[in-house]
Structure 1
Amino acid sequence: MTKKQVWTLTKAFFYIITGFYLVITVVFHNLLPTSDVTFTAIRHRPKPHEDNGQCVILMHGAFSKESMLEPLANAFYKKGYWVLSANYAWNRYTTDQLSFYTSKMARTQCSNRLTHFVVQSSAVILLRHMLEHHPIPNEIGKVVMISPLIKGSELVSDFSWIPGFKKSLGLSIAEMGQDKHDLPAKFSPQFPYPTGAIMGIRSFNPLTSVILPGIDDGLISQISAVAPFYKDSITILDTYTFLPSNQDVIRQTLQFVESGSFDHVLPQKIVLPNTSNQPKGFLQSKPDGATRPSR
């Protein structure tokens, strides 16, 4: 048996195991209690003398919770921002329903404030759908995308052959594959707001990483995260799960919202051992910690 045949069989084995792993994971998440679309705004309302008159809306990705973005919420609160942290039942609503509810709550809670967005993973698709189909009257400020799912998920498309797989994902996630009929393929390649992207480059999940092309954070590949409209972008040595609570991510998110760019001068805890297959559009680090655009 040749090396190529061995690799083909090995990859096929991982595909099968990963498929079952994803099905079990999805079923487990669906068994957990879910809540309707809510915004927790009161506990993140700054004191009158600290209020800077701006609003930040945090939107978590699929199979995540509002609590994952709590460190970011606290950081913005301390800076005087009115913070809304959305909590979705991803498996119970379509993307259009979620974007409608999100838009309604944003208009109500943020009033006439300059409004920024910090979105994780699949919430990128939700935000783009909302601004296109259910726009808010607020002036939009900066947008920070963490582990951005721009082109859709390879995992959703690659395992759609499994009977009932897409159905088990829930109404909204099933729309976020990479096929031409999925939502990501319907968006314009442009996004008219100053946007910064943060991508993780560490994975502890060999089952998904063997399927995802190139560098990934365990769930999102950099290839699916690249977009032409980024004003700035950076990579952080951490996984999908822990990026939102990573202190570098929190600092860089605040930096972008306040200045429109990331901090490429102060040392970063970033290591990128192999940049040969890193897609354009993200930043890679030099050994001394300074960053430069990928070539």
Structure 2
Amino acid sequence: MSCRAISALSALAFIAAGCVTTDKEGVAMRPNLPMPTLGGKQYWTDVYVYGGWRIQQNVFTKHHRLLGPKDVRKAWGTREQCQHALELAKDRGRAVLLSDKVCILLHAFLRSKDSFKGLKKGLEAEGYEVYSVNYASSRYDLDTLAAQMRPLLERVQEDFEDVYIVTHSMGGIIARKILSQQEYPKVRRLVMIAPPNQGAVMADKLLDWWPSQYVTGPAGRQLTADEDSGARNAGIPMCEFGVIAGARGTERGWNRMIPGDDDGLVSVASTRLDGMADFVVVRAWHATIMNKPKTIHQVIVFLNSGRFDHEAEGVLALPDN
């Protein structure tokens, strides 16, 4: 039986049981056995993150759970029950903030929060609280994914004075959707790594292959290079932002099916976006670009200054296109 089936059946069994106990504060809570989880890959969406703890909602059952450090389940049930358990963890000093500035990481399509391990470590070394957020990228369209992330960003603004956002691939499109429709006063800067801002030719080619309908999901089908695609019309962020593109440094790039230089999936040209404060190209492959030391360096420099380090090792000359 697949992990997805086990997760769904287990959750349904607990909910159907309807077991409720009362904690020391008199709040009705569901019995919980602290147990390790996979952290919520694809079938859970983070609705609140605080100091290494996160409240998630299940895609299928819609119930919530609270994960502590190392993704151990600390509570489950309703959103209110999980929030209560988190507040107790705060009061007892188990959930604490280590900085007054936070960096939110939004992962790519079909990836998870764990895809940012190198970048997360680098940002933490610079004094940032880092929230690598999980969202069910294959289950909803771009508008729905953005709508799910907005409340999380609003809550994060209540906990921090300075908020920064770094994205990889489709995560950048989600950030554009969020930050172009409403101004968030505490969001200082945004860095998009390898975003398909003008759509991705490979998305068009993938959709021509009939089995792709079982893989791409609603959001994946909106990443095409068509004039009316969701990626191309996600809006311009109302904050200072920069773009890091991956490339090979040759006219043909890594992928001969993509015109011009590319990172294997997204062309350098398609990462560009009107209004960007700065733009830099590094030699990297799409799947791993976010954790390369040269990329981490560029992210940190931009978050601190609003400009990239164009003299750094690994930076490629900007193409004419």
Tell me the TM-score normalized by structure 2.
0.66
1:81 & 1:126 partners in 2: Cα distance?
Answer: 22
1:163 deviation in Å? 3.2
Kindly provide the CA deviation profile for residues 60-108 of structure 1, in whole angstroms up to 9, marking residues without a partner as x: 1112221121222222222222221111221112212211121111222
Mapped to 1, the partners of 2:141 and 2:274 lie a distance apart of 27
Code of the aligned partner of 2:304: E
Partners of 2:120 and 2:261 in 1: CA distance? 28
* 2:41–2:136 CA contact under 8 A, matched in 1: no
**Counterparts of 1:130 and 1:36 in 2: how far apart (Å)?**
20
- After superposition, residues 46-65 of structure 1 pair within 5 angstroms as 51=99, 53-65=100-112
Residues 33, 147 of structure 1: alpha-carbon distance in 2 compared, 3 angstrom cutoff: closer
More helix by share: 1
Conservation of the 8 A alpha-carbon contact between 1:154 and 1:212: yes
SS at match of 1:172: helix
Deviations 1:222-275 (A, max 9, x none): 12112232211111112112211111111110110011111234x412456xx7
Aligned CA RMSD, in angstroms, stands at 2.9
Q: 1:76 to 1:47 in 2, by over 3 A?
A: farther
Unaligned runs of 5+ in 2: 1-39, 54-68, 70-94
Amino acid at match of 1:36: W
CA distance in 1, matches of 2:316, 2:242: 20
Which amino acid in 2 is paired with 1:86? V
Counterpart-to-counterpart distance in 1, 2:310 and 2:113: 29
Distance 1:77 1:47, change over 3 A: farther
Partner amino acid, structure 2, of 1:34: Q
Which residue identity does 2:180 align to in structure 1? E
Question: For 1:1-295, what aligned pairs fall within 5 Å after superposition?
Answer: 34-38=42-46, 41-43=50-52, 51=99, 53-111=100-158, 112-133=160-181, 135=182, 137-163=184-210, 165-166=212-213, 168-188=215-235, 190-202=236-248, 209-265=255-311, 267-270=312-315, 278-280=319-321
Distance in 2 (alpha carbons) for counterparts of 1:64 and 1:103 = 20
| Contact in 1 for aligned 2:106/2:168 (Cα 8 Å) | yes
| Structure exhibiting the larger radius of gyration computed from Cα positions | 2
Q: Shift of the alpha carbon at 1:198?
A: 1.1
Q: Give 5+ residue unaligned stretches, structure 1.
A: 1-31, 281-295
- Residue pair 1:103, 1:136 contacting (<8 A) in 2 also: no
TM superposition score normalised by structure 1:
0.71
Q: Residues 210, 74 of structure 1: CA spacing in aligned structure 2 closer, same or farther, 3 A cutoff?
A: same
Identical residues among aligned pairs (%)? 20
How far off is 1:166 after superposition?
A: 4.1
Decide whether aligned partners of structure 1 residues 41 and 180 sit closer, same or farther in structure 2, where only a CA change above 3 A counts.
Answer: same
Whichever residue aligns with residue 52 of structure 2, its letter is R
In the aligned structure 2, how far is the partner of 1:47 from the partner of 1:250? 25
Name whichever structure is richer in strand by fraction: 2
Aligned-partner Cα distance in 1 for 2:238–2:49 = 27
- Alpha-carbon spacing, 1:33–1:197, altered in 2? closer, same or farther (3 Å): closer
One-letter amino acid of the counterpart of residue 163, structure 2: T
Give CA deviations for 1:154-187 in whole Å, capped at 9, x if unaligned: 1222343333534531011111212233213334
Instruction: Provide the aligned length of Structure 1 versus Structure 2.
Output: 238
CA contact (8 A) 2:42 2:112 kept: no
| Residue identity in the other structure for 2:221 | A
